[in-house]
Structure 1
């Protein structure tokens, strides 16, 4: 089953690629890898929640936002090379705007990691970092970067 077919089976439609909010491109290819820029959890150009996780945003909402940011990263990859060319998810880096004493960053970023395994199966298992930060652009609660391997040609 292709990744496009798997998305359809899961009832997932990739969003339009998020418009960059500064001087960068959503994704670049080098050799057999695609690297995304940091992706915020935009839905139709808007952040559905803002603030720090553990204060203004609860952990469950933040997990959903991490999933949304991951879908935005996949949309950038799809627009550049096509989602069906992905052979392996290599690395996911998640940033969580964290309230003081919030230590649940790994659980938040699981929202993105679980999505990778849902879509790509074993090829979705990846190296990962889940980092707590003081602030993110536009007061977003989460931001994600994704690196994938793609098939030649």
Structure 2
């Protein structure tokens, strides 16, 4: 078990199998010293945790939990390419939040992902981030997360 797996176990989580792509792409690609993930949805056991817009059918707190699941799936995608302990740094996370036009709490939703990366990777989990409000995401998901990590 890697130290990342150990840190996740301390908070009651395990890295799941990589969710199957919902279209024609791969979950992650390694090029040189970087792994880029495709956008990861809040899938657990093959099902979306929730559907709908944040600020509408989905609360900010529920969306935070969705972002956390997306982040866990992004870690799984990274693990499909490299050993997790080879991650030198989480470089950038992009968090897309399908939200109502008046919802402005995208950064708080994105914290669900960012805090998980910190818990999993320690200091190496500190990253740059964009939290972007969008009108709709695949499968009517409320959140999608993509990740860039540097590996050694």
TM-score clears 0.5: yes
* 1:118 Cα deviation from its structure 2 partner: 1.0
String of CA shifts for 1:44-87, please: whole Å, max 9, x gaps: 11002100000000000000000000000000111211211111
TM-score, normalized by length of structure 2?
A: 0.96
> What CA RMSD, in Å, does the superposition of the two structures yield over aligned residues?
1.1
Q: Do the aligned partners of 1:4 and 1:84 also contact (CA within 8 Å) in 2?
A: no
In the other structure, the counterpart of 1:39 is 40
- Report the 3-state secondary structure (helix = DSSP H, G, I; strand = E; otherwise coil) of the residue aligned with 1:76: helix
In the other structure, the counterpart of 1:114 is 115
- Report the 3-state secondary structure (helix = DSSP H, G, I; strand = E; otherwise coil) of the residue aligned with 1:21: coil
**Cα distance in 2 between the residues matched to 1:58 and 1:8:** 27
String of CA shifts for 1:73-130, please: whole Å, max 9, x gaps: 0001112112111111000000000112000000000000011111111111100000
- Report the 3-state secondary structure (helix = DSSP H, G, I; strand = E; otherwise coil) of the residue aligned with 2:30: strand
The unaligned stretches of length 5 or more in structure 1 are: none
TM-score, normalized by length of structure 1?
A: 0.95
String of CA shifts for 1:9-38, please: whole Å, max 9, x gaps: 332201110000001000000101000000
The unaligned stretches of length 5 or more in structure 2 are: none
Aligned residues: 151
Alignment of 1:34-73 (within 5 A): 34-73=35-74
Alignment of 1:11-50 (within 5 A): 11-50=12-51
